[in-house]
Each structure stands twice: as structure tokens, then as C-alpha cells.
Amino acid sequence: MNSDDSKSQSIDFFRNYWDIIVGFLFLALTFISHNSNLYGVATLFAAVSIILFSITVSEIAEILAERLGEPYGSFVLTFSAVAVEILLLFNIMLQSSATPQAMETVKGGIISAVIVDMNVLLGLAVFIGGLSFTEQQHNEDTSSSYTTILYVSSLALLVPSILGHSNHDTLTVQKASYLIGALLFIFYITILIFQTKTHIHFFKQTARSRMFRYKKHINSSDEHEEDEENYLFDKISNFYNFIAMFLFIALIGVLAEIFAHDGIKIFQEFGISSGLAGLTIAIISVSPEIFTAVKAAKNDQIQRVVNIAMGASTVSILITVPALLVLGYYSNTTLTLSFNPLEIGALLFTIILAWKTTDDGETNYFEGVSHLMLFLCYAIIAALY
């Protein structure tokens, strides 16, 4: 083997596994910085490492998604991201005994996850897709179903919030939070049956997108065939891919503990508001999905974008909230679903905007800009609230 072949193989290897290689590098730097009490540096390195390993998780999830098909494929993608979100928020929640602000950061993170999914992920993907295609079509039943689910779920979160802001005692608000958490989970079970058994056709791509993707696949299959054959996760079975995905999620859990411990100190030191801290956490957990969605939009897979954005938002409320309530109960950490008016208002406005921009089954770049505009306005308020 000559030096040119060896160099080419090295480049291909790094191109395939750069996220894992750099992720482990930042993992090592995170531990070194943390043990040296360099909290700001450790927080930054942990965040970068979490994003890189999350990209690996999303790559594996993407392979599984292609094999399983819709809507099950999008379930894998959304659950992989929600697992990261739960790990981050739970580790921050554990810091609340020493830092009361941490609990407000968790609440901000719950709401911000939906806002980032629906405005940054959906908005950016629709904007970029709209620049490549005048209009992109998706199944309007998908967005109609998801916006209804999200609207009802948001109103459910209002129950403990109203009690909390009307001078009811903490115990009453806590009981209401547990009851709402249980109702949200039951609601999710109903939706799961609706989505995977009785109304699968509501969540599948339109004929136009399906035909474009078929033609694109035929034209590009030769170009990408060699790359796919050289990628480890394309070769191994679904079972081993699931194991690999869970191992990387476990690594993210370790990093999340350091991020939470050191990050809370940095947030306090620099006077970062709970809303902005929660928004930062949401962006970290959602970033791999953003890359996946943008790539899908550029390939005219806008149905995948809608499924990811709205599916992730749905799971963020219906799974993340009950999961954090259960984890908080068993860790003797009290989480109440009493959100401030800004958070609830931003959530409702986001859902209304998503309903208006997707209800006709077509998207364009202007609608993407509208979502990004709403997000930037929320970010300014969250930073100064």
C-alpha cells in the first residue's frame, strides 16, 4: 500500500468518525478541566462533547430510522434526542438542593426544548429547504394532528401554573403536577396507538416528496455506496446499533453530570437568567436533530422535518415531563409544573404559529423566517426577563 492510499484511508476514516474522535478528545479535556476546578472551561468542553456524541447518536438513529421506516423511524430519532434532554435536565435538577435557581432552569429547559424544536429546527429547515425548492409539500394531516396534541398538552401545563400563581400552597401545586404528569403520559399512550396502529397514513410523506426522493436516490446511489459500505454502523445489525446508541447516551449522561455541576456555578457567576440557561440546554440537546432536519429539507424530505420537529416537541412534553417528575420523586427532589407567564405564552404562540405555517401542507422560506423571528424575540426576553 503506497503513502497516497494510506493518506486517503486516513482521511476517509476521520471523515466517517470525526464526531467520535473529537468527542472523546473533548471528553478527556472535560475531565481534566473539571478536576482542575476550571468550571467555565469544563462546562464548555462538556457541552461540545455532548453535542458531538449526540451527533453520533443521531447518525445511528438515522440508520435505524431508514431501516424501520416511518413513522417508527422518526420515533427512534426523537427518543434519542429526548434521552439526552432528560439526562441534562435531571442532572441540573439534582443541583437544586444547593442552588434553588437550578429548578427554574429545568422548567425553562422543558419549555425551551419545544420552542427550539418548533422554531429553530423547523424554521431553519423550512428556510433552507425553501431556498432550494420554491415550495415543499408534506402531509397536512401530520401537522394538524401534532399541533392539536401540542395545544392540548400546553393547556394541561397551565393547570399547575394557574394554581401556583393564585396563591395555592406548594403541596397543592405538587399534587396537581403529579396528576397532570400522569394524564400527559396516558395521553401519549393514546397518541402512540393513533400514530402507529389506527392512523399511520396521517404521518407518512406525500406522493410528491416520495417521488423526488426516489429519483434522487437513484441518481446518487453510486456516489454514496462506497461511503456507506465503509461506515461501521451501516454494516452492523439493528441490535448492535441499539447497543452502540445506548452506550453513547450513557457517556452523555456522565458528561451531563459535569455540565450540570459546573454549569450552574457559571450561570450564577455571570448572572445568566434561568430562561436563557434553559434555552442554552435546549439548543445543546436539540442540535443533532437540527443537523438531521436541515439535511432532510435540502433533500426535499420535508415530511421527515415535520415528523422530527413536531414529534420531538410532543415527546418533550408528554415523556420528558412525566419522566422528570418520577425521577424527581425517587431522588427526593420536588419538581412542580408551575411555569411563568413568559414560558406558557411563548409556548402557546409557538404552537399557533406552527399551525398557521403548516396547516395547508406546503412550506416556503418565508414561513421558516417567521419561526426564526419568533425564536429570536423569545431569546431576547428570556435573557432579560
**pLDDT score recorded for residue 99:** 79
To the question of domain 3-384 being in CATH 1.20.1420.30, the answer is yes
In whole numbers, what is the pLDDT of the chain averaged over residues?
83
Number of residues in the chain:
385
Using an 8 Å Cβ cutoff, are 337 and 321 in contact? yes
* More confident site: 298 or 13: 298
Give CA 65 to chain center in angstroms: 16
Q: Which residues of 192-219 are buried (b: 16+ CB within 10 A; e: fewer)?
A: eeebeeeeeebbbbbeebeebbeeeeee
Measured distance CA(58)–CA(52) in Å, rounded:
10
Dihedral pair phi/psi, residue 362, rounded to 5°: -135, 145
pLDDT digits (tens, 9 = 90+) for 334-351: 888 988 888 888 999 999
Q: Is the model's pLDDT at 373 over the cut of 60?
A: yes
Residue 216 has pLDDT above 50, yes or no: no
Report the range out of 20-24, 59-63, 202-206, 264-268 with the highest average pLDDT.
20-24
> What is the average pLDDT across 102-120?
90
Residue spans per domain, the chain? 3-384
pLDDT digits (tens, 9 = 90+) for 313-330: 888 889 999 999 999 998
The pLDDT tens digits for 225-236 are: 445 557 888 888
Q: What is the per-residue pLDDT for 325?
A: 94
Instruction: Tell me the mean pLDDT in the region 282-311.
Output: 85
Give the distance from CA 123 to its chain's centroid: 14
Q: What whole-number percentage of the chain has pLDDT above 70?
A: 88
Residues 242-263 have a mean pLDDT of: 89
Output the pLDDT for position 77.
Answer: 65
Structure-model confidence comparison of residues 51 and 203, the more confident one: 51
Cα–Cα dist 380/145, whole Å: 30
pLDDT at residue 264, rounded to an integer: 87
Q: What is the pLDDT of residue 290?
A: 86
Please check the confidence at residue 118 and state whether its pLDDT lies above 70.
Answer: yes
At 178 the pLDDT is: 94
What average pLDDT does range 231-254 have in this prediction? 88
Quote the pLDDT of residue 102.
85
- β-pair partners for 363: 136
pTM, full prediction: 0.82
Question: Does 72 or 62 have the greater pLDDT score?
Answer: 62
pLDDT at 195: 75
**Residue 362 β-bridge partners:** 137
Give per-residue pLDDT as tens, 31-41.
999 999 898 99
pLDDT at residue 199 in the model:
66
Phi-psi region of 338 (alpha: psi -120 to 50; beta: other; left: phi over 0): beta
3-state helix/strand/coil string of the chain: CCHHHHHHHHHHHHHHHHHHHHHHHHHHHHHHHHHCCCHHHHHHHHHHHHHHHHHHHHHHHHHHHHHHCCCHHHHHHHHHHHHHHHHHHHHHHHHHHCCCHHHHHHHHHHHHHHHHHHHHHHHHHHHHHHHHCCCEECCHHHHHHHHHHHHHHHHHHHHHHHHHCCCCCHHHHHHHHHHHHHHHHHHHHHHHHHHHHHCHHHHCCCHHHHHHHHHHHHHHHHHHHHHHHHCHHHHCCHHHHHHHHHHHHHHHHHHHHHHHHHHHHHHHHCCCCHHHHHHHHHHHHHHHHHHHHHHHHHCCCHHHHHHHHHHHHHHHHHHHHHHHHHHHHHCCCCCCCCCCHHHHHHHHHHHHHHHHHHCCCEECHHHHHHHHHHHHHHHHHHHHC
Confidence tier at 217 by pLDDT (50, 70, 90): very low
pLDDT interval class at 21 (50, 70, 90): very high
Region 64-90: what's the mean pLDDT? 76
pLDDT in tens, 63-73: 887 787 755 66
